[in-house]
Amino acid sequence: MNTTTMKDLFEDSRDRLGIGQMTGKSGLMREINRVKAQRYIEREGFWNRLLPEAIFIITPACLSELASTPAKKREDILQNIISSHIPCLAIAETGSPPDFLVYFSEVNNIPFFTSVYDEFLLESRLIALLREKINHIVLIHGVFINVYGSGIIITGDSGIGKTTCGLKLVERGHIWIADDAVEVEKRNGNVLYGRGHGLTGHLIEIKGVGVVRAKEFLGAKAVSDETAIRIIVEFEKASSNSETEIGRATGKNIMGVQLPFIKIPVFSHGALMAGNVESVVRNFP
């Protein structure tokens, strides 16, 4: 089972999590191996239903409840947090934590931070960060195609033509992998593989058609479940029809793996961009 420490989890993630103040730093070497986060919900008996080993998100409503709760009852609640082996506490939409939580964090070596984000965004980002650090998995918004045997993720703004280009590439004999959300997994230390994400991983949303199953729409031979990722390209709107030159390759770091990253100006319909994507693959060493 993969593990990480709270220190590794928060390293280089302050902006991503909107972290303000942090206490309980003596507990940063705690190990965590569960992709779990739980936010407070106002309902009877909640404090007896804490998820074991989950990062706990304290909402503004929860903070108000704790602050107004009699000391003995509050002590029982905090004891539940300890007995549930909560590895970390986070307060959403708060810059300054109350003294009793700072004291609790320090005494019990439980890392604790405030965040500028609301509980929903904070929960989403924590889950994504845990998946990245523990399961070595991230999500990239884009279309994933195997072109000449190389996995190419096409990224860019919504509506710029990523799916249309991907479908045109399949018409030209290439292999479809995923639409919209590409789940990227690091294996063997430094190899990235991509596949469709979750229950929607085998679906394609096509303008004017709707949502279709990839294998039924394209044919089973034109679709593959996953492949290694070689290049990431980004479609960006060209400022004029004369701006047609493909950008020079730079690098994009994904979970410590450096991939070639190339910008392609879009000045026409997405279907006409298929040749440019093929050109990138053919000309890349």
- Reported in sequence order, the residue ranges of 175-224 that DSSP labels E, i.e. its strands, are 175-178, 181-187, 191-196, 203-206, 210-213
CB atoms within 10 A of CB 129: 20
pLDDT value of residue 153: 97
Q: Please give the DSSP secondary-structure letter assigned to residue 133.
A: I
Whole-number pLDDT of residue 247: 74
How confident is the model at residue 120, as a pLDDT?
A: 95
Q: What angle do CA 249, 252, 257 make, to 5 degrees?
A: 120
> Domain 4-135, CATH 3.30.413.10 — does that match?
no
Q: Which of 40, 36, 38, 23 is nearest to 112 (CA)?
A: 23
Provide the pLDDT for residue 271: 62
pLDDT at 243: 57
What is the distance between the alpha carbons of residues 81 and 87, in angstroms, rounded to a whole number?
A: 9
What is the domain partition of the chain in residue ranges?
4-135, 138-283
Number of neighbours of residue 2 by Cβ within 10 angstroms: 9
277: its two tokens:
């994507």
Query: Which residues, in sequence order, are CB contacts of 12 under 8 Å at separation 6+?
Result: none
Q: How far apart (Å, rounded) are the C-alpha atoms in residues 172 and 162? A: 15
User: What CA–CA distance (Å, rounded) separates 37 from 123?
Assistant: 6
| Residues of the chain with confidence (pLDDT) below 50 | none
Q: What is the pLDDT of residue 1?
A: 65
Per CATH, the homologous superfamily of domain 138-283 is: P-loop containing nucleotide triphosphate hydrolases (3.40.50.300)
Question: Alpha carbon of 235 to those of 75, 178, 232, 257: distances in Å?
Answer: 55, 17, 10, 22
End-to-end CA distance of the chain: 37
Return the pLDDT at 103. 93
